[in-house]
Amino acid sequence: MKIAISGAGIAGPTLAYWLSRSGHDPVLIETAPQLRTGGYLIDFWGVGYAIAERMGLADAIQRAGYGIEQVRLVDGRGRKTGGFAVSPFRRVFDGRYISLPRGELARLIYEAVGDDVETVFGDRITVIEQSDEGVEVVLEHGGHREFDLVIGADGIHSTVRSLVFGTDPTFQRQLGYWVAAFESDGYRPRDELVYLAHGRPGRVVARFAQRNDKTLFLFIVSDDQLTAAETADGTGVRRALRQVFGDDGWECPAILAALDRAEDLYFDRVSQIKIDRWSQGRVALVGDAASCVSLLAGEGTGLAMLQAYVLAGELDRSGGEHGQAFRRYEQLVRPLIEGKQESARAFAGVLAPRTSVGLWTRNRVSRLLNIPALAAWAIRREFRDDIELPDYAMQRKSGGLQP
């Protein structure tokens, strides 16, 4: 089948990789003029890592990533108030745990797709018309095209979801926080392989030293301190962040100065997507477009890869009977996703507690993760993926690595 995939982030290229290896003809359609690189740091493990292994990408991901040694929580004077070693995570997951920029993972997946798949950059789907025979789409710049299926892999603000499923505001569940991220060159000090975070009630600022003398900064702010009116444009966001963090001590003055010089600033609400069904007719959703768990959940990229892999596998297994494949895909994956969403709603308040008591408690509890047995128990309880990864025939066709 000829299958349009809207979005060339994580889920889209993963889906294109597996579809092309099972005999389909996917076409990636991406609004950006070129592949997006860089971006905020993600932790990568679990089902996503297993799928990356099946794609033969594990070694490249390890080279592109960072083996973070420590998470360190500090007060306004830079004194350590909490934190933990990261090594227990790697032990629990047998070394299959790494942190890397989201854009680097996207690049590696896209390069694995290679020239087998057509990519249309700088365009987007504006109209979707379904019939019994197929789907006609209208591209903003590329005119009309015909496909057998259309897959929305275009993120939390999915255009495909809006066109086919509507714009019901209840689809997007706000978790009560905003997040901002940017990179800076030449920032000092640097603490190699240490993730540092400073928190006050309802807000956190963190930094991580990357290669090539770059530093990544992350802000998390509760929505009672940052309103939508203050964040209408890039200038407003920077002004609002300066107002919120201007008196917070630690390195905040230097970080805000770096923010003023930054060319690119990622900014969005911390949200989840909850929708009753992930398909309608010949259109289906994957990744954040279907079921964003939120940026703060920590495993969104791996879950997006899982959805893409299972959707491609079920299309292959069903012999192209898309209705059957869509239903089976959702039955297999939705229970795991909904469990992760529930955990993420609780975890947001742990990362950025809204009260002084909550902040004090978070700092003290974080120290318990330095007890090896307790850390191993907590990691297995909170971060395991309760799903058996299917072994589809397309895996054997691809020549990817066995798990």
* DSSP letter for each residue of 321-336: -HHHHHHHHHHHHHHH
- The whole-number average pLDDT for the span 59-70 is 96
CA distance 234 to 211: 26
Q: Using alpha carbons only, what angle is made at residue 121 by residues 116 and 124, rounded to the nearest 5 degrees? A: 115
Q: Over 50: is that where the pLDDT of 213 sits?
A: yes
Report residue 402's pLDDT band, with 50, 70 and 90 as the boundaries. Answer: very low
- 211 is a domain residue: no
* DSSP letter for each residue of 210-238: -STTEEEEEEEEETTTS-GGGGSSHHHHH
Hey, which residues does 136 pair with through a beta bridge? 129, 146
Count of structural domains, the chain: 1
pLDDT of residue 227: 64
CA distance 71 to 195: 5
Please give the mean pLDDT across all residues of the chain.
Answer: 91
* Intra-chain end-to-end CA distance of the chain, in Å: 28
CB atoms within 10 A of CB 360: 13
- 265 is a domain residue: no
| Kind and range of the H or E run holding 318 | none
- 33 is a domain residue: yes
- 138 is a domain residue: yes
Those residues with Cβ within 8 angstroms of residue 168's Cβ, 6 or more apart along the chain or in another chain = none
Those residues with Cβ within 8 angstroms of residue 193's Cβ, 6 or more apart along the chain or in another chain = 66, 67, 68, 69, 70, 209
- The whole-number average pLDDT for the span 285-290 is 97
Question: Cβ(10)–Cβ(30) under 8 Å?
Answer: no
- The whole-number average pLDDT for the span 294-320 is 91
> Which domain CATH number covers 351?
3.50.50.60
Residue 97 CB-half CA count within 13 A: 17
- 258 is a domain residue: no
CA distance 102 to 37: 8
Per-residue pLDDT tens for 251-261? 999 999 999 99
pLDDT of residue 134: 96
Q: b/e string for 361-385 if b means 16 or more Cβ within 10 A? A: ebbeebeebeeeeebeebbeeebeb
pLDDT of residue 400: 41
- 222 is a domain residue: no
| Kind and range of the H or E run holding 282 | none
Question: Cβ(196)–Cβ(83) under 8 Å?
Answer: no
- The whole-number average pLDDT for the span 174-190 is 93
DSSP three-state, residue 384: coil
Report residue 361's pLDDT band, with 50, 70 and 90 as the boundaries. Answer: very high
- The whole-number average pLDDT for the span 233-237 is 72
Report residue 124's pLDDT band, with 50, 70 and 90 as the boundaries. Answer: very high
pLDDT of residue 397: 58
- 178 is a domain residue: no
Tell me the percentage of the chain whose pLDDT exceeds 90: 77
Report residue 393's pLDDT band, with 50, 70 and 90 as the boundaries. Answer: confident
- 285 is a domain residue: yes
pLDDT of residue 231: 61
Question: For residue 68, how far is the Cα from the chain centroid?
Answer: 19
Report residue 401's pLDDT band, with 50, 70 and 90 as the boundaries. Answer: very low
pLDDT of residue 165: 96
Q: Using alpha carbons only, what angle is made at residue 354 by residues 349 and 360, rounded to the nearest 5 degrees? A: 90
Structural domain boundaries, residue 133:
2-171+272-398
For 379-384, which contacts have Cβ atoms below 8 Å and span 24 or more sequence positions? Answer: 379/88, 379/89, 379/92, 380/92, 382/343, 383/45, 383/46, 383/89, 383/92, 383/298, 383/299, 384/46
Can you give the pTM of this predicted structure?
0.93
